[in-house]
Amino acid sequence: MAEKVIPIRVAGAPESAAPWDGAALRDTLGRPIRDLRISVTDRCNFRCVYCMPRKVFDANYRFLPHAAILSFEEIARVARVFVSLGVKKIRLTGGEPLVRKDLAKLVALLAPLGADLTLTTNGSLLARQISALRRAGLQRLTVSLDSLDDATFRAMNDADYPVASVLEGIEAAVAAGLAPVKINMVVKRGVNDHQIADMARRWRGTGHIVRFIEYMDVGSTNGWRMDDVVPSAEVVRRIGEQFPLEPVEPNYTGEVAERWRYRDGAGEIGVIASVTQAFCRDCNRMRLSTEGALYTCLFAQTGHDLKALLRSGAPDDAIRDRIAAVWRARGDRYSELRTAETARLRKVEMSYIGG
């Protein structure tokens, strides 16, 4: 069956992929599928300058209508099929996942699948939702926090949220039993790189793990320039000058963060060098968009529609075969091939597909 084609979002299916035969599923570069990232909404209460610049995502921006987005039951069904194909980790993302109503209900549907179940959030709405999420079976949490300095943070989220709203969310997560938390900071030169050492200092000794992310050319609205990127090697050097660091082995193959620990035993940090040290070789991530399209890369220009099949009354086997076919045909390694030209391509937005 031909797939529906929607520019930028949905493309044609690979035509000659063999049906799933139970053998280990590998893409064209021999990579297994392990990690499913589910975007539950394309909306967000922040307007981070590097992700949803306000001049693009303004009052006239057309977010997905309700009828276009997958229901929790549909998401859970797809997730179950993914687990049968070898997925071990499920991450809920957005936009901001906590703006989707009753998210804990989705968590409750996913928890019994047995995969590692985690969530990436901006933290601002966490305090009032975390108990329900925890009760529903959420196991881990990643909170984005780009600065501890209020003026810098407000300028970056461009929605006037104070740092305190995120810190409150992190505290609530700890109280709910979700510690340690991972804290993600996207570093943009000249904007928040003066906060690198402060972030390290603030979270040292707490058990939480800060990860410093290189600013990436995702989407086509953030005006990315290589000059804006602070290489992870520089981050490690700058922190190491104040708090000596040593490298740590990865927790698992394909981990995106490179781990470093403080020599004085005060815990660890991570750096995510997706621009200067691409990690495509072990990339085992598939992404499911809010409207039910599969994306084989964060930098994809097109996705593969699954929603039509889901809503056609097709059995799980057919869903599984389609997912397997998309994975088998996958050859993405965008970050290894990045150039100034590819950076200018029209790619899927991070707010649409999640982090």
Q: Please give the residue ranges that form the binding site for ligand 5AD (CB under 6 A).
A: 50-51, 93, 120, 144, 184, 186, 213, 215-216, 218, 222, 350, 355
Residue among 141 and 310 whose Cβ is closer to ligand GTP: 141
DSSP state of 247: E
- Judged by CB under 6 A, the residue of 274, 289, 296, 302 near ligand GTP is 274
Q: Which does 257 bind (CB under 5 to 8 A by kind): ligand 5AD, ligand SF4, ligand GTP, none?
A: ligand GTP
Instruction: Return the HEC string of 126-145.
Output: CCCCHHHHHHHCCCEEEEEC
Least separation in angstroms between CB 275 and ligand SF4: 10
Residue 74 in tokens: 């549909």
Residues sharing a CB contact under 8 Å with residue 90, sequence separation 6 or more, in sequence order: 36, 37, 38, 79, 82, 83, 110, 113, 115, 116, 117, 118
Angstrom distance (rounded) from CA 205 to CA 77: 40
Least separation in angstroms between CB 147 and ligand SF4: 12
Residues sharing a CB contact under 8 Å with residue 221, sequence separation 6 or more, in sequence order: 52, 53, 56, 57, 349
Least separation in angstroms between CB 134 and ligand SF4: 21
Q: Is 84 helix (H, G, I), strand (E, B) or coil?
A: helix
Q: Which residues bind ligand SF4 (CB under 6 A)?
A: 44, 46-48, 51-52, 94-96, 122, 144, 279-280, 283, 285, 297-299, 332-335, 350-351
Per-residue contact string for residues 20-59; x = within reach of ligand GTP by CB under 6 A: ----------------------------------------
- Judged by CB under 6 A, the residue of 108, 166, 199, 213 near ligand GTP is 213
Could you say whether residue 285 binds ligand GTP (CB under 6 A)? yes
Least separation in angstroms between CB 216 and ligand SF4: 9
DSSP state of 282: G
Angstrom distance (rounded) from CA 221 to CA 57: 9
Q: How many residues bind ligand GTP (CB under 6 A)?
A: 19
Amino acid in the structure at residue 171: E
Whether the CB-CB separation of 212 and 272 falls below 8 Å is answered with yes
Look at the block and give the residue holding tokens 């290189």.
Answer: 214
Closest CA to 115 of 143, 74, 84, 72: 84
- Stretch 103-132 residues interacting with ligand GTP (CB under 6 A): 118, 120
The residues of the shown chain that bind ligand GTP, judged by CB under 6 A, are 89, 91, 118, 120, 142, 182, 184, 213, 216, 255-257, 272, 274, 283, 285, 298, 335, 355
